[in-house]
Each structure stands twice: as C-alpha cells, then as structure tokens.
Amino acid sequence: MEKQKKKNLKWLWITIALLVVAGIAVWCTLSAIYNPNIKDGQEVDGVKNVFNFGTTFVLFTIAFIVLALGYLLGGINIKGVSLGTAGVFLIAILVGFLCTLIPEDAGLFSGFHLTEDSAVVDTFKGTIQNIGLVMFVGSVGFIAGPNFFKNLAKNFKTYIVLGIVIILSGTLVAVLFALLTPEYGPEYWSGVLSGALTSTPGFSAAKDAVVGATNQADLESLITLGHAIAYPFGVVGVVLFVQLMPKFLKADMAKEREYLKLGGLEEQRDYSKYFKCEDFGFLPFGLAIVAGLLLGSITIPLTGAGYDGATFSLGTTGGVLIMCLIFGHFGHIGKLSLEVKESTLKVLREFGLALFLLGAGVHGGVSLVEQISKFGGAIVGWGFLGGALMTLVPMIVGFFLGKYVLKLPLLNNLGSITGGMTSTPALGTLISTAKTDDVASAYASTYPIALVLVVLASQLIITLM
C-alpha cells in the first residue's frame, strides 16, 4: 500500500512539472508572436525569440558535444591501440568542418555557422586552447620536476643530439619538397613543416619571416594552408607511433618502467613540515603558471637586426613548463610548501590536454576548409604527402638513433621523441601507454632544444631559399 502511494505521488509531481514546462513554453511563444511593439506586416520569428542561442550557448554546446564524442572515439581499442584523448582532436576537426556548412542565414541555428573570423572560433583557438595548454604542461612540469634535473644531468648530451637530429630530419624533407615543387614556394613548405611538428611557435616564426614582403598577405595564406594541411596528421601520427612501437618490439612494459626509473629516484619528501594554504595545491600551481608566463614572454633577438629580425621566446608552453619543473623540483620556498596534490595534477593534465585539442581541432577544421576552398588542387595533395613524411621520417630516424647508437631505454627514447616533435598530445598518450609519469622528464629535456630549432628552421627555409 505504501509503495503504491509513493508511485502515485511520483507521477503527480511529474505531471505538475510537465504542466509547468508546457505553460512556460506557451507563454514564451505567445509573448514572442503577439508582442505589441511589433508593427503590422513585420516578419516575426517566434521560435528564435524564445530560444536565445547566443555565443556562450554555441561555444559550450560545441565544446561538450566534442568532448563527449571525442572520448567515445578515443576509447575504441583495436588490439591495444587507441586514439585516447586525441579522439577529441579528430571529432573537433569534424565538428569545425560541419559548422562551416551551416548557412549563415539558418535562422535559429545561424550562431553555429563558423568562420575563421567568428567570435566562437577566436575563443576556441585563443582562450580555450591556451588555458588547456597551460594546465597540461604545468601539471606535467610538477609531475616530472622531482626527477627532472637528475635525469637531465645523466642524459643531457643525448637529449641535445636527439632534438637536433629530429628537427634536422624534418627540415631536410621540407627542403626536398620545396626543391621538387618550386611553384608552391618555400613559404608553403615552411608552414607544412610547422604543422607536421605541431609547432605554433614555428608557424608564427614563418609568418614573421614574410613581414614586409610586397605580397605578404598571399605568402601568409600559403603558410597557413601548409600548417592546416599537415597539422592533423602531425597530431595523430605521433600519438599512434608511441603506441605502436612498443607493440612492434613486443616490449615488456614493466621492465621498461624499471629501466626508466634507474638512477632517477629521489628521496621521499616530508611535506608535513612546510606550511600549506590549502590541500589541493592551487596556490603553488598558480604561482608557477604566472612565473612561467613571465618567463615565456621574454623575447630574445637572434640576428644583428635586433627585434626587427628573427626573435625567439619560450612562449606559453616553454615558459610554463620550465617554471613548473623548477617548482616541482624544489618542493618549497622557505616554509611555504609547493606541493600540488597528485590527484589534482592528474585531473588538470587530462582536462588540460582535452581543452587544448578541443580548441586546436575546432579552429583547425574551420581553417582547413577555408584554406582548401581558397587554393584547392594538387597543392593540397602534395602538402599532405610532404607533411606526413615530415612527421614520420624524424620519428623513425630519431627512434633508431636513440635505440642503436645512443642506447636509450625504450620509454626514454619515446619520451625524447615526443619532446623532439614538440607533440603535447603524444606525451599524454605515452603517459597512458607507459603507465608512468616519469616519461615526462625525457619530453621536457628534449623539448626546449627542439623548440629553438624549429623556430629557426621555419624562418631559414623562407629566407635562404
């Protein structure tokens, strides 16, 4: 009897709720259609008045649909290989492409029509992508910090050699394609190189190299096209490489994790003797991020032309990574604890990577459509082929150099390759594949030298050819 009463009460509340919703819907619709301020003969879109699909609604709807479907795609596992968080990137590209197909006059859904100049795309490629990048590299820095300097001292020369060889290999492939297709120009292949290595600083450096040219706008468009064509494979190619190589080699991952840790362990820290403002560690994380942004904003001229010529800066990624490594290494400032809770770092790392790929993917999808529709033809096919080789050749050369010449353990080798390829998504995948955060030390050691070299290579291809 009691059970029946509860059931009847539940349906009563459901009925009331439905009546309230229906009443609100009728009121809103009538208010939109019979507005006394509407003049006779004026066209009325009642539905559009009821539903306010503003920029925030469009932004959040796209973001969470992409995240949900991206993780669904990334979770598909085929013989132990999956896209992981990189699934977000592919779905984001697809959604960005589909949104360009929505007519600008689509009425209620016109806000979902995206172009490179739209506010939603600006937010994805700017705010969302950069916040995600800061969260990811910051958490990686704190995780790798305790072992980083010991690992760097042990393998410093090795990391420099790998970084140089990886970037040099990609640059040589770019030069070869520039010689084979002189009609496309070195600017195009410099853009392809920066896309194949997923390097935003390299992309910016290439665009800086054409400033002042008589046809600057056309050259910048070629750089953008090359970058947009090569970037998707640049992301997915490295992600798959770091998963497939251990399988091809039939590596014992438990043993590889032990090799990775040899000589890199530090004593357990007793944080209880330091003052902590809060349990999660957002204070030290925030301090490290601000310090990293300041470091990354320092710009150094690389030529005698001073700041009018080629310049270099660590940028958001490099500056934040280095300062978080330092904060993570020392662990405290005086009596103030710099500990960030491990669970906090892992959440920030995963969510940050997802946001970075979300922003890059939506912008990439929109940009790719607009650039291909502008140029079209064989230039796209050549760009994809060249970009794929600029991604694959450096990884293969770097891997065999690390394995057979430099005698690096597998995970050290793969971590160095992700750093040499400046591939943030691949590091996230490698951490999941290796089931240890220690691979971040090899990434962080190789990344700075690769970052400097890819910036120089992107400009030299244009200025010397």
Q: What is the pLDDT of residues 112-155, one digit of tens each?
A: 888 888 888 888 888 888 898 889 888 888 887 777 777 777 77
Residue 267 — very low, low, confident or very high, per pLDDT cuts 50/70/90? very low
- Look up residue 29 and give its two tokens: 């619709």
Rounded to an integer, what distance in angstroms lies between the CA atom of residue 314 and that of residue 130? 14
- Within 8 A by CB and 6+ apart from 434, the residues are 253, 256, 257, 260, 411, 414
Task: Say what percent of the chain tops pLDDT 70.
Answer: 88
> Backbone phi, then psi, for 81, in 5-degree steps?
-115, 130
- Examine residue 47 and state whether it is found in any structural domain, yes or no: no
Which of the two residues, 374 and 245, has the higher pLDDT score? 245
- Look up residue 133 and give its two tokens: 């990048």
Residue 198 — very low, low, confident or very high, per pLDDT cuts 50/70/90? confident
Q: Are 451 and 314 in contact (CB under 8 A)?
A: yes
- Examine residue 56 and state whether it is found in any structural domain, yes or no: no
Instruction: State mean pLDDT over 196-223.
Output: 80
- Examine residue 345 and state whether it is found in any structural domain, yes or no: yes
Rounded to an integer, what distance in angstroms lies between the CA atom of residue 342 and that of residue 324? 14
Give which of 82, 64, 51 is closest to 362, Cα–Cα.
64
Strand 300-301 to 311-312 pairing: antiparallel
Answer yes or no: is pLDDT of 257 > 70.
yes
When mean pLDDT is compared over 313-322, 385-394, 439-448, the highest value belongs to 385-394
Tokens 């280095």 belong to which residue?
322
Rounded to an integer, what distance in angstroms lies between the CA atom of residue 383 and that of residue 389? 10
Give me the chain's average pLDDT, please. 82
Quote the number of domains for the chain.
Answer: 1
Biggest CA-to-CA distance, the chain: 91
- Examine residue 282 and state whether it is found in any structural domain, yes or no: yes
Rounded to an integer, what distance in angstroms lies between the CA atom of residue 243 and that of residue 87? 14
Q: What pLDDT score was predicted for residue 31?
A: 62
- Examine residue 5 and state whether it is found in any structural domain, yes or no: no
Local structure of 332: helix, strand or coil: strand
Tens of pLDDT, residue by residue over 88-115, are 888 988 888 888 888 877 666 777 888 8
Q: What pLDDT score was predicted for residue 401?
A: 93
Q: Counting beta carbons within 10 angstroms of the beta carbon of residue 10, is it exposed (0 to 12), middle (13 to 18) or buried (19 or more)? A: exposed
- What is the CA angle 444-445-446, rounded to 5? 95
Tens of pLDDT, residue by residue over 312-366, are 677 777 788 888 888 888 888 888 888 888 888 888 988 988 998 888 888 888 8
Query: 238 is in which domain, residue-wise?
Result: 143-263+271-349+377-464
- Examine residue 50 and state whether it is found in any structural domain, yes or no: no
- Look up residue 186 and give its two tokens: 């070195």
* Helix, strand, coil percentages for the chain (3-state, nearest 5): 75, 0, 20
- Look up residue 214 and give its two tokens: 């008589």
Rounded to an integer, what distance in angstroms lies between the CA atom of residue 364 and that of residue 227? 9
Answer yes or no: is pLDDT of 35 > 70.
no
- Examine residue 387 and state whether it is found in any structural domain, yes or no: yes
Alpha-helical (H) ranges within 298-333 are 315-330
Local structure of 208: helix, strand or coil: helix
Q: Are 298 and 292 in contact (CB under 8 A)?
A: no
- Within 8 A by CB and 6+ apart from 175, the residues are 189, 461, 465
- Examine residue 64 and state whether it is found in any structural domain, yes or no: no
